[in-house]
Structure 1
Amino acid sequence: MPVLPRTLVSRKRLLERLTDSTTGPLTLITGPAGAGKTALTASWANEGPAPGPVVWLNVRDDDNAPGVFWSYVLGAFRFHRVPLPDGIGSPVLADDVDRSLLVRLSSAVAQLHRPVVLVLDGLERVTARDVASGLDFVLGHSGPQLRLVLISRVDPLLPLHRYRAEDRISEIRGAELAFTSHEAAKLLRRHGLSLSEESVGALTGRTEGWAAGLRLCALAMQRADDPDRFARSFTGSQHVVTDYLLAEVLDALPPATQNLLLRTSILERIHPQLANVLTGRDDAEWILAHLARANAFVEVTGDPPWCRCHPLFSSVLRAHLRSRLPGLEPRLHRLAARWLADNGRLTEGLEHATATGDWAYAATLLIDHLAVGRLLTGPDTHRLERLFSGMPTTFPGAAPALVAAACALARHNAPAGWAQLDRAQAHLGGAAAAPSLGTRLAHTLLLLLAGGEEHGSTACATAESLAHRTRDLMAEVAQPCLEQHPEIEALRRYGRTGALFEAGRLGEAHDALEHALAACTTEVTRTVRYECLGRLALIESVRGELRRAQAHAREGLEAAEEYGIPHHRRTGVCHLALAAVAFDRSDLQSARHHLDLAADVSGMAHDPVCAAETAVLRARLELAYGNIQAALAVVDTAGGAHAEQSALRLAETRSAIHLARGDPAAAIGALRDTGGMPAYAVSLAAAHLAAGDTERAARLLAGLGQFDRAGVTDHVRILLLRAQAAVLDKDFATAEGLLARALDAARPEQFRRPFTEAGPWLRHLLARRPDLGVTHSWLTERLADAGTPGSAGDDSLSVPAEALSPRERDVLRCAAHMMSTEEIAAELYVSVNTVKTHLKSIYRKLSVSRRSEAVRRARERKLL
């Protein structure tokens, strides 16, 4: 039995496994060289939990002959003082053993008073089937008194499948032998080293818990000036590890196997066919399978026939490749890139294509495989962006320029994207040969996504033309290839929406976004889905569809978290939409919170529409708190927006600020012609009404027809302006009817802001109709930011609620104690139907629909 080193770490979890497993007939411990198999078993034998005496035999190469092997087994029994009868005898011939001797040995072991544990260490050296069959025979005929422990780098020739089927074997494999970070820290302390948790974790991860590697590193760190730095920067190239792996593993392999390992060391995962390509041979499958069986630091992954080398072994092999075969590595990377790309593993292929800085080849590979969209959407976008992050932005060629453009657009940097597309166009125009289909498709698609300097109807027409050209090019692609890239169609549909959105054609943009969202059905389109949800939410918030906006924005934020979209790839639009929803519901604190979160995303600065919408919300927030000059400064700072939607929203906001400061003329001057847009006409009508020009305001409102193009926001504002005009004409009946319609339209969305901004006339009108205040208490209850002059507190429309009867208060008190309807009935000595009637009345008076809301509302109003 080997002598245990003083630095041995007692690993309780594995010792307990061994103790449990030796209650059965066979325990198999396998793992690569240096995995700690022998040390574990010797530690277990020395600590005394074995069920009986331990007989230990270190198997050597010359023990492969049956007679020699069994002679040493019998000698081991005698050496460890396990009594066997003298009549058993010994083998006569080295190459053979008499079956009767094995019968006598089995019988003698079966008659022992205590079980005996026979440990055979290094059984991989025994390749003779006669030895294996003899072991199987003795184990099967010794009864429960023989407990066999086999230590080997490979599975022995025993019929393991039968033992597994009969539940007569326990196995401890290499993965279980790996040291945990906690065990590695104990090992390092045994060597007099005290490292930080971060350093221990880095070293354990790099070695993958390989026992010999950790011990060799510990020995090296004892001589290092800075052990922590050694651990964090350890790469496996240190000579202590290199020497061990070369001597114990690589040098023991045949030349053909060594050549295969050297050439495939550039791969993270090895496929037999790819290995054949790199070696020019056709026997890689057999060699790799043999290495995996031999635990020679090669293992089959969960996706056979793919396998992998231990990272430390790979790093040693790569260093050996560069010294033994200099200049070969770039060629191997290119061969691997082509094979991987052609076999559906493009990202892995690009990792090899970019490894040597061959940017022209890498970019061409991406473009020709129609995968430029993968830089914009999908689970590999971050990896691809990282791969091309080292490519110079001025690297010549159309393909590199297109890749650089896609990277810029992925970061929401449209100006940089346009510059790269101009470079690509220059290269394409000067090329002697016609560009490939992949190049033309990538160029057209990226032009569509980047937009351009045109605005309004011209931009929409250009986008529509580019979308048609993209579809025509897609028709030239083979259908199976197109089916592998659903992101192209999703991006094509999404690309149409930008121009519509900027042109203020919100209804068409909304429909186009829903059409794009319908194409986002796979994993590779998930970033497009996130973008669509944010844009839908923003449009819906502008149109006053607050519930849908909130749902889409929250869904978008959840998608960003679920998909792991990094911060620099996010747009902030979802938070911007939630800020708009909160503002329109007069929750100013939440509006400011979400607005700050939106502004924290770098992509917002590159989106003119979102930048303008951010300015609009910030200005309106300042206005809500009474800071008129600050609000005007926000709008003035954001000036110069060219997109029609942006210009419209900023002009409306500037007009609202002038109205708040009592300057209707300036409010009118801030608005030019209506451009046929309902929101613009509504703002202009409000300004004329404030100026006393009711006739002009009426004409503007009459031109809006039956609101066929107006959203909830414009619908409510139009009704309120007509109600205001009716109040000015002393037509209170008409005004009350219009107000009731406006409240009904706003109630589903809890749309408060148009009412809180309407002015004193609305308070007087509500005072004439207190029933409206009771029915619409969602509006008249005190708002979230109440209390500060000039804030939402002054926006509250305090209308007394209809009083609750004493019995209704009793029912509400019971409901507050979470009592059921039946329990309330029993408590108050009334029928269940009576309780239900009281609850319905309470819901009506408090303008709620659920018991929990009634209790909350009653507490807010001090009714409980």
Structure 2
Amino acid sequence: MSAGTGTGHAIDALPALPRTYLARTRLWQCLDDATRGAVTTVTAPAGSGKTMGVAGWARDRTPRDGTRTPPAWIDAEGLTGDRLAATLGAAAAGGPAAGADAPWPPQGDRLDEADEVGVVVVDNAERLDPSCVAVVDDALDRAPHLLHLVLLSRWDVPLRRLVPTMLGTLTDLRGDVVRLDAAESAALVRLHVPDAPDHVVSAIVDQAQGWCAIVVLAARAARAARAAGSRATPSIRPSTQGPLVSDLMAREVFAALTPRERHVVLSVCHEPSVTAEDACLASNDPRALEVLEAMEQTGLLVQRDQVAADGGARFRVHPVLLDVVRRRFVTGGVDIQRARATIARSSDIELARGHLGRALELAAIGGPAAASEFVGAHGLIMVLRGEHARLRVVVDQAAGPLRQNPPASLALAVECWFADDAVGVARWLEAVREPAHAGRLTAVDAAVAGLLGAQLGLEPLVPATRTALDLVQTSAGSLRAGHRALLLTLTGSAQTWLGDLRGAESNLSSAILAARSEGAGALEDVAAEDLALTEYLRGREPGAAELLRRVAAAGPATPATGADGVPAVLLRMHAEPWTFVDAPPADVVAPLSLGLVGAFWAWVARARALALRGRAVEAQIVLDTPAGPARPRHLDTVLEVERSLLAVVNGDTDVLRECADALHRLDAPADEALARGFLAACRGELAAAARHLEAATRAERSQPDTATLALAAQAQLVDALGAPADAAALLGVALRRAEARSNALPFVGWLGHATPVHLLLARAGGDGVSAWGRRLAEGLAAVGPLSSRVSFLSPTVQETRSAAALAAAPVLTARERDVLLLLARGATYEDIGRSLYVTTNTVKTHVTNVYKKLGARTRSEALAAARSLFLL
């Protein structure tokens, strides 16, 4: 912002101040204090406002003290030592006149006097001729009391500083004094755009960070935008303001830096803030801290940000200068090539230290190809360690080269797998499988890609699992970091789906150990989740619960290990099923990391949650809706047993018959006996039902626990047939089996055609019952048997069929719904009136409206229709 236009052969007029000039009272006070000494240097970069700030001070100081002569203002361009000496002599003689000649140093008594010494201001002092610098040094040595000189410079003027600074005759004012504070910046914006909204002013102040020229340019842009009718917040960045700011800064600031300063700035320009250690590493310059501190003293180019974690300072390059520097990376040049080589070296150092995320950030500065190469070599272990965010940034910058690099594409497919992004997994696997990339994947990477694709149904699971098992057995010791743990995890999950639970348990346990030893914390959590589900399927609920507790204690809960994860919900259903009665509907969704088996059990858990709330028909609808790929035989058996439980609690003999026939085809005799026992009980054939259930108690299935289900139901039937002692014995066996597994689910009251199970539990209470048994009895007694809730909330089979004739459920008002719920509880009109604080006639009006909307003539018809339409 230099305004001096003189040649240096004459004293220039003071620069004219703009109409929108802002008085810099803080700067002026500093100048008043500093100019009591001999020489004052004001050092700040171009555009900082030092020229206009000092010109305003020069114009302001004379009216404040009429005895003072106006300062002499000269430009350093073309100034000679003789002319500077003459100007200083004239000022010492009592006030310079244009072109006046006076000896320097003054002769005679003037050496001892200091009256009326005028102020001389030299603008653009960085251009001073060496002869001029010698004059100033001589004046400081011989007659500092006859000197009031202000030097305005973009960088340090090469004066001899030590002795004058110690004597107090030389004062340095840096950019931190020249910088606008937030209030001054806002006031300057208001001078240019009086009606600017507050958010526009704040945006300009935040972006400019005290740089005067940037505030002015952005304010002018805001004024132009408002004149054009645009409501967009202006930006001072080169990408939006065109070449104006960027060219100015590149020409006036960046070019003025020394080669060493340019190299340090180029090396750290891709970081929002850096520590001294970061700067030394990135620039390969052990004295980078000194460079940053020197630039920080200048004021605007570099600022101290906040204190780092180790107690050191952090440095932040001004954002506008950063934009300029980053643009230089596009244009290239010797400086850029040197900076790229240094940054690549820094990336290798960070990689050797194990800081993969930081190493990737540095590698990406080298361009998309370098980023792709790094991701191909190290991206997978980054994903397994949970460093996903840095990879996503690279994807946006180098998507093309990444798709041409199969190992990199596989790493990103695994990242999407962790992020539960099935579409992303499929997209990156498609890049892996492109024919042009054939042979570029190792056997292990190909096996991982095959297992991921099989989870999405893109290829058969059995061949992919066999291939993976062969590699686990033959190549386990030679796999790279992360590959072994990932292969074991995916293989174990596939084995769980296929029913090889022992093999899955072994491989998942090995996966946890491998992930722990390789530092793959994110994968360790996934393997633990898969292992917890496998333990659940093996009938080891306490072990699965303990494993989830350990995972939760080790770190933040994941979607699978949290309270709403599939394993946790299933275990809670077994341990405390009564807590689901009044709970909101459970939206159990399995992440991709739990594989196909996780998705299957999430589907079952959603149906169970509905059933425990008494919504058996809705639960049946969930299980009747196809989900996922074709299931292996053992999971089809699980599904038919679950459907049998829902059918018996709802009294649906047709579904029970279907389930029994399906279990016969699946060669599951014990589970078939359970379904046929339930079918006989629904028909009233209690003795036949008991015989079928006795056969079912010999089941060896772990999930569902068919034997314990059969024992609890058989106890109910035997008691109803008049043999309470035998019923108590059967119940005792069932309780002991269930307690060992914390499995309360068989006792919720699936069978409603015999003695309620909660009564049997109450009868069995006493000193011989364990604490777990007493808690079970108390929990179930508080909510009653499941069959009772279902009869109240779920429609019967006949009601469901008749409801099909209704096009849609009618819309009831809030008061009509209240009345309907009280009718379902058996309340009289008087009871309803007292509960709702309305008259009996009002109740009758609401009841009439409800009957009309439901197409009913009696209370029983209305309730049947409401259950069929799930209005209760």
TM-score bracket for this pair, using the shorter chain length: 0.5 to 0.7
- Residue aligning to 1:463: 468
- Residue aligning to 2:190: 189
Conserved 8 A contact 2:450-2:464: no
- Which residue identity lines up with residue 366 of structure 1 in the other structure? V
Give SS of 1:671's match.
Answer: helix
Conserved 8 A contact 2:677-2:692: no
Conserved 8 A contact 2:328-2:336: no
- What is the CA deviation profile of residues 544-576 of structure 1, one whole-angstrom value per residue up to 9, with x for unaligned ones? 448547746866993459xxxxxxxx9999533
Give the superposition deviation at 1:443.
3.1
1:500 aligns to 2:513 (yes or no): no
Conserved 8 A contact 1:553-1:577: no
Report 1:205-216 matches (<5 A): 206-207=207-208, 210-216=211-217
**CA distance in 1 between partners of 2:421 and 2:367 (Å):** 23
- Residue aligning to 1:588: 580
Per mean C-alpha deviation after superposition, the further-off stretch among 660-669 and 312-321 is 312-321
Distance change (3 Å), C-alpha of 1:329 and 1:730: farther
- Residue aligning to 2:379: 371
Conserved 8 A contact 1:717-1:754: yes
1:88 aligns to 2:112 (yes or no): yes
1:135 aligns to 2:164 (yes or no): yes
- The structure 1 residue matched to 2:157, chosen from 126, 139, 142, is 126
Report 1:26-45 matches (<5 A): 32-35=45-48
Give SS of 1:127's match.
Answer: coil
Q: TM-score, normalised by structure 1?
A: 0.61
- The structure 2 residue matched to 1:315, chosen from 323, 334, 348, is 323
- Residue aligning to 2:399: 391
Conserved 8 A contact 1:271-1:307: no
- The structure 1 residue matched to 2:242, chosen from 238, 241, 254, is 238
Distance change (3 Å), C-alpha of 1:94 and 1:247: closer
1:698 aligns to 2:694 (yes or no): yes
Give the root-mean-square deviation of aligned CA atoms. Answer: 6.5
**CA distance in 1 between partners of 2:720 and 2:713 (Å):** 11
- What is the CA deviation profile of residues 487-513 of structure 1, one whole-angstrom value per residue up to 9, with x for unaligned ones? 444423322321132124556545644
Conserved 8 A contact 1:364-1:399: no
**CA distance in 1 between partners of 2:718 and 2:290 (Å):** 91
- Residue aligning to 1:659: 648
Distance change (3 Å), C-alpha of 1:736 and 1:33: farther
Give SS of 1:558's match.
Answer: coil
Distance change (3 Å), C-alpha of 1:514 and 1:184: farther
Give SS of 2:697's match.
Answer: helix
**CA distance in 1 between partners of 2:785 and 2:718 (Å):** 32
- The structure 1 residue matched to 2:626, chosen from 627, 635, 638, is 638
Distance change (3 Å), C-alpha of 1:46 and 1:556: farther
Distance change (3 Å), C-alpha of 1:68 and 1:730: farther
Q: Which has the larger radius of gyration?
A: 2
Per mean C-alpha deviation after superposition, the further-off stretch among 755-764 and 203-212 is 203-212
Report 1:466-477 matches (<5 A): 466-468=471-473, 471-474=476-479
- Residue aligning to 1:780: 778
**CA distance in 1 between partners of 2:506 and 2:327 (Å):** 57
**CA distance in 2 between partners of 1:741 and 1:74 (Å):** 116
Structure 2: where are the runs of 5+ without partners? Answer: 1-13, 97-108, 118-130, 273-277, 352-357, 794-872
Conserved 8 A contact 2:375-2:408: no
Conserved 8 A contact 1:622-1:628: yes
In the comparison of the two structures, how many residue pairs are matched? 706
Conserved 8 A contact 1:579-1:592: no
- Residue aligning to 2:747: 755
Distance change (3 Å), C-alpha of 1:658 and 1:364: same
- The structure 2 residue matched to 1:576, chosen from 566, 571, 591, is 566
- Which residue identity lines up with residue 151 of structure 1 in the other structure? L
Percent of paired sites with the same residue: 20
Distance change (3 Å), C-alpha of 1:264 and 1:688: same
Conserved 8 A contact 1:530-1:559: no
- Residue aligning to 1:856: none
Give the superposition deviation at 1:231.
1.8
**CA distance in 2 between partners of 1:121 and 1:329 (Å):** 29
- The structure 2 residue matched to 1:647, chosen from 623, 636, 657, is 636
Give SS of 2:173's match.
Answer: strand
**CA distance in 2 between partners of 1:37 and 1:784 (Å):** 81
Distance change (3 Å), C-alpha of 1:220 and 1:639: closer
- Which residue identity lines up with residue 611 of structure 1 in the other structure? A
Structure 1: where are the runs of 5+ without partners? Answer: 110-116, 140-145, 154-171, 475-481, 562-569, 796-864
- What is the CA deviation profile of residues 232-265 of structure 1, one whole-angstrom value per residue up to 9, with x for unaligned ones? 58446534423431342134357x6799699879
Conserved 8 A contact 2:28-2:57: yes
- Which residue identity lines up with residue 702 of structure 1 in the other structure? R
**CA distance in 2 between partners of 1:6 and 1:313 (Å):** 28
Conserved 8 A contact 1:619-1:635: yes
Give the superposition deviation at 1:637.
0.9
- What is the CA deviation profile of residues 740-792 of structure 1, one whole-angstrom value per residue up to 9, with x for unaligned ones? 56557767997544322344342332343343699724642578978999549
**CA distance in 1 between partners of 2:789 and 2:196 (Å):** 57
Give SS of 1:702's match.
Answer: coil
- Residue aligning to 1:250: 254
- Residue aligning to 2:360: 347
**CA distance in 1 between partners of 2:449 and 2:198 (Å):** 47
Give SS of 2:234's match.
Answer: helix
**CA distance in 1 between partners of 2:525 and 2:644 (Å):** 34
**CA distance in 1 between partners of 2:140 and 2:23 (Å):** 39
Per mean C-alpha deviation after superposition, the further-off stretch among 65-74 and 389-398 is 65-74
